[in-house]
Structure 1
């Protein structure tokens, strides 16, 4: 995987800052409570693209994989683990490249999608995926590349990369020329066209039942992203929540209960 820290420095500070923001996550340590909950659940790190991905599994039964977002770590979805284990599932969570206890210094949604596919290939059959933010988008990308599950839950996730890249360019004050240069750099970094990570190129992978949950006032990922995903996904439900912002959806008892209930539902007509 390309390491953003080794890429040539740019003279323009705004452009360099945009590149750094896109590719270089912050590493968040485990809290003492998270460390205690995961103490007996660690698995050997998974070797993937020259990296080591930290992973944990709790419980027994059909497998549910939890996928965290940017500047986060797998343990931040632990609120879903106990209810799922109690419902008869095993739960696998892991840290994406450059996050948590996994190695690496750079990442993107495309790198995250490949890491998810590797974790799921190593885990065996997977019943469901729960993804938050970039983790949701990584799951969409993995589904488009052939990954199959029975159900998936998407929490406050972007559904297309183009608006995220444009928004990041705008947030860093890039003019048209620098924004175009930034987009070109992104495509080199992720190894594909930005448009290939947009919903109209990913929706063919949405062949299972999906639950989409998003706060209409989310300031990090706009609610419109989930509306677009729902419109493109005939087998999906969209639930609008309020007062939770972008991250509190991970700890809200109602969101957790509805997500677990959805995963436990029968697929029979």
Structure 2
């Protein structure tokens, strides 16, 4: 190796290691956001005892009475972001349970992934008993798909801008951090170690057998965080679902959009009395 290239090699290796470390951190370590004063007031009398899950405590709240709907937030979010859904569900005669995923909001832990979220959701469902419906945003939607594939049964579910397969999201994150083919393969291997399973086992063709109920999928076709193609694939694999585009709302605004909330609650209520 020429002397100049040999001298450069350590810095190149450090640069690659830095990109890999950044990708690993972005995949596994969420940002914890605080609850707003208004949301604290809205949930002041709704708190339930924290749920013990895999050595940590998950914060949870339930509002209203009636058939239970569980609301699952997305990456870098918290349960209180779905209070608009909760209020509309309570007005429609349901109870609404919100919770913070591991490493998010008021829950314990520092690490998370869609697989971690799926396990946390299943723990919550085991503790709450019968659930009429699940509403999931982004990673929360994917967590619900994992739960369904592992035996969770509901009457209805709503999926807001969620990824339907993990492999393309891992590839997307590798590309976003400028990883070449070898580094991307190393990153994918690290992800599999972190989540404790093969990426392929968290892809739609391995999960679709759990889709036996009615579903509503809502997604902005111009979403730059989770591609609309993920919802198109989910819709294609799910005969009992309908896909409703929500243009102009981006990835996060649709969780607070009055029309999306109204359509989702109406969908959940369609067979509540049946």
TM-score for both structures, normalised by structure 1: 0.95
SS at 2:51's partner residue? strand
The C-alpha deviation readout for 1:219-247, integer Å capped at 9, x for no partner, is: 10000000000000000000011110000
The answer to whether the 8 A contact 1:113-1:141 is kept is: yes
The answer to whether the 8 A contact 1:129-1:139 is kept is: yes
Aligned counterparts of 2:50 and 2:266: Cα–Cα separation in 1: 30
The answer to whether the 8 A contact 2:118-2:146 is kept is: yes
- Corresponding residue for residue 149 of structure 2: 144
- Corresponding residue for residue 74 of structure 1: 79
SS at 1:130's partner residue? strand
The answer to whether the 8 A contact 2:16-2:183 is kept is: no
Q: Answer with 1 or 2: which has the greater Rg.
A: 2
Aligned counterparts of 2:271 and 2:65: Cα–Cα separation in 1: 19
- Corresponding residue for residue 211 of structure 1: 216
Q: How far 1:86 sits from its partner (Å)?
A: 1.1
Aligned counterparts of 1:232 and 1:146: Cα–Cα separation in 2: 18
- Corresponding residue for residue 60 of structure 1: 65
Q: How far 1:119 sits from its partner (Å)?
A: 0.4
- Corresponding residue for residue 6 of structure 2: none
Aligned counterparts of 2:273 and 2:23: Cα–Cα separation in 1: 47
The C-alpha deviation readout for 1:122-180, integer Å capped at 9, x for no partner, is: 00100000000000000000100001100000000000000000000000011111111
- Corresponding residue for residue 89 of structure 2: 84
Q: How far 1:268 sits from its partner (Å)?
A: 9.3
- Corresponding residue for residue 35 of structure 1: 40
Number of residue-to-residue matches in the alignment = 261
Aligned counterparts of 2:273 and 2:133: Cα–Cα separation in 1: 16
SS at 1:12's partner residue? helix
The C-alpha deviation readout for 1:45-100, integer Å capped at 9, x for no partner, is: 00000010000000001000000000000000100011111111010000000000
SS at 2:77's partner residue? coil
SS at 1:256's partner residue? helix
- Corresponding residue for residue 125 of structure 2: 120
Q: How far 1:11 sits from its partner (Å)?
A: 7.1
Aligned counterparts of 1:268 and 1:181: Cα–Cα separation in 2: 51
- Superposed, 1:161-176 pairs within 5 Å as 161-176=166-181
- Corresponding residue for residue 14 of structure 1: 19
1:102 to 102, 107, 117: 107
Aligned counterparts of 2:117 and 2:137: Cα–Cα separation in 1: 12
Task: Indicate the RMSD between aligned Cα atoms, in angstroms.
Answer: 1.4
Aligned counterparts of 1:248 and 1:169: Cα–Cα separation in 2: 26
The answer to whether the 8 A contact 1:109-1:134 is kept is: yes
SS at 1:71's partner residue? coil
- Give the 4+ runs in structure 1 shifted more than 6 A: none
SS at 1:104's partner residue? coil
Query: How has the CA–CA distance of structure 1 residues 11 and 244 changed in structure 2, closer, same or farther, with 3 Å as cutoff?
Result: closer
Aligned counterparts of 1:267 and 1:93: Cα–Cα separation in 2: 20
Aligned counterparts of 1:25 and 1:201: Cα–Cα separation in 2: 26
